[in-house]
Structure 1
Amino acid sequence: MKTVDLRQAIVMRVQDNSAEELSEVIGDSVGADEKALPGLGVLFEMIWQESSESEQGRMVDSLYKHLHDSEFANPTPS
């Protein structure tokens, strides 16, 4: 019996999706139940690995700004 790790399972679940379906998966997962977070993490990892240094820098800058914006700095638990 072949063992599938979490990354592989997530990729297998979405690999045949269209771009529109991937967008829906992401949109439905953002802000949803915490069970979606590992999947978003795997998808982000894929984006990160394929991004140039300048694109990675923009993502880090955006994340930094969100983390230090007073509205987002101390999120309340859901």
Structure 2
Amino acid sequence: MDQFILDFYYSKLLLAIEIDGGYHLGQKKLDHERDIKLSMIGIKTIRYTNDEVLKTLKLVTDNIKEEILERSYEI
């Protein structure tokens, strides 16, 4: 876990939230590989784009609440 810098991390639920800016193909691949590594140690990553956060904040926050509830039952 120390090797990764996450935007938001809820350690009790092993839940990472990432807000992605503009992408180029190389970055998308690196992010996917990191998500796989985090998954291998039990951390679930959910991703949102900057546009999703800026344009549909309520939808994003509702989705995060749902993820927290689901994750609290899984852990």
Q: Which has the higher contact order (CA 8 A, sep 6+)?
A: 2
The structure that has the greater radius of gyration is 1
Higher strand share: 2
TM bucket, shorter chain: 0.3 to 0.5
TM-score computed with the length of structure 2 as normaliser: 0.39
Higher helix share: 1
